Amino acid sequence: MPLSPTSLKNTAAAAATRAFTGLRQIHSNHQARAVLRSVERQRGPTGKALVRCADEYAREVLGSARYAPWLQVYAAVSGGFREGWIPDNYYGLVVDPLKGGEVAKVALVKSFTNRILGTDALPDLAYVIDGIYYARDYRPVSATELTEILFAQDERTVFKADNSYQGRSVTFMTRADFSASGPGRLPDGVFQAPIRQHDFFAAISPRSTATLRITTARELDGTIAVKAAYLRLGRASDDIVSCRSHVRVAVDAARGTLGDTGYLHDWQRTDTHPDTRFRFAGQAIPHYDEAAQLCRSLHQSCPHMLCLGWDLCIDRQERPRIMEWNARYNDIKFSEATTGPCFRGLGWEHLWKRAAA
């Protein structure tokens, strides 16, 4: 019996989804193996017992050996095996689709973020929506009025396009740059005031604004908890922190203190920032508790999203400022490898059975 047009469409869509998922698995595990090689160049081969634990845990608990490579990375970085780890590809392919939902896509629409979060912690100044300029309160404004809004307090403004992440599509603009861009030439997005970072961060990363990543997740009872944190730092040549060159340092999520070790973009270890020679061990992030509480309260206001990654900085006025929030695929692998398992007790390791069904 021939399939109906609807059945054919659904079958084709399912096949395309499987093919895309397969490609993502291949890419993720290729990345994991590259990271493992980099870690082992510095620390030596990962013990066979740890590799065996990772392989067995992937098959028996997470349902597939495809999740073993990232578990092997975590074991190599931490020097042991810990039950409860969530592999990076398991999070992206199993947890995120089942628990994030379509609503998580809205976090990429930066011109809409303030409408959802409604917080003064966002440094938003104005927006571009369908070629029209809007003030922070979404009141339409002319190009002349917008210019005065953007440069009233600083000679530069930051523009971030919608649907961008990890520092992509971030542009620093002067008054002259903005005038040259002309009406209608900018994509939808947000204008933000540059953040003048607290002296603590300036001492580590003076050129680019340091980013404090705080990860929050919804507990089984519906409350929100901080599950992980780390600090991302730029290099001497970076205007913004870039994943191609950043230095990451694990943060004690409960106390806000830096770990002893930082990691370069290729996962090589260092106990100081390679440019400023700032030593990480034991340093306490100023006003960390306020930043963590802000993330908890904002996540509680939109509990539709299971897990969120918040990028913040503490400014010179000692206020936590939100630079970005990440819902669709917020990075967990660094925290899992250095301070995890961060999400034990949430039942995520069983979600593959629901996906299979």
For the chain, list the domains and their CATH numbers.
5-99 (no CATH), 102-110+197-327 (3.30.470), 124-192 (no CATH)
Please state the rounded mean pLDDT for residues 224-228: 98
Average pLDDT, the chain: 90
CA distances from 295 to 145, 167, 168, 215, 302 (A): 33, 20, 23, 8, 11
Grade residue 13 by pLDDT with cuts at 50, 70 and 90. Answer: very low
> Rounded to two decimals, what is the model's pTM?
0.91
pLDDT digits (tens, 9 = 90+) for 172-207: 999 988 887 766 688 999 999 999 999 999 999 999
Instruction: Return the pLDDT at 97.
Output: 83
Point out the least confidently predicted range of 20-24, 129-133, 318-322: 20-24
Q: Which residues pair with 225 in a beta bridge?
A: 217
Grade residue 68 by pLDDT with cuts at 50, 70 and 90. Answer: very high
Instruction: Return the pLDDT at 329.
Output: 77
Where would I find the H helices in the chain?
A: 5-43, 48-60, 68-78, 88-90, 96-99, 113-117, 143-150, 175-181, 199-204, 288-300, 333-339, 351-356
pLDDT digits (tens, 9 = 90+) for 286-327: 999 999 999 999 999 999 899 999 999 999 999 999 999 998
Torsion angle of C-alpha atoms 268, 270, 272, 273, degrees rounded to 10: 0
Instruction: Return the pLDDT at 333.
Output: 96
Cis link prior to 341 (omega < 30° from 0)?
Answer: yes
The answer for residues whose C-beta is within 8 angstroms of residue 10's C-beta and 6 or more apart is none
Instruction: Return the pLDDT at 14.
Output: 45
Instruction: Return the pLDDT at 6.
Output: 61
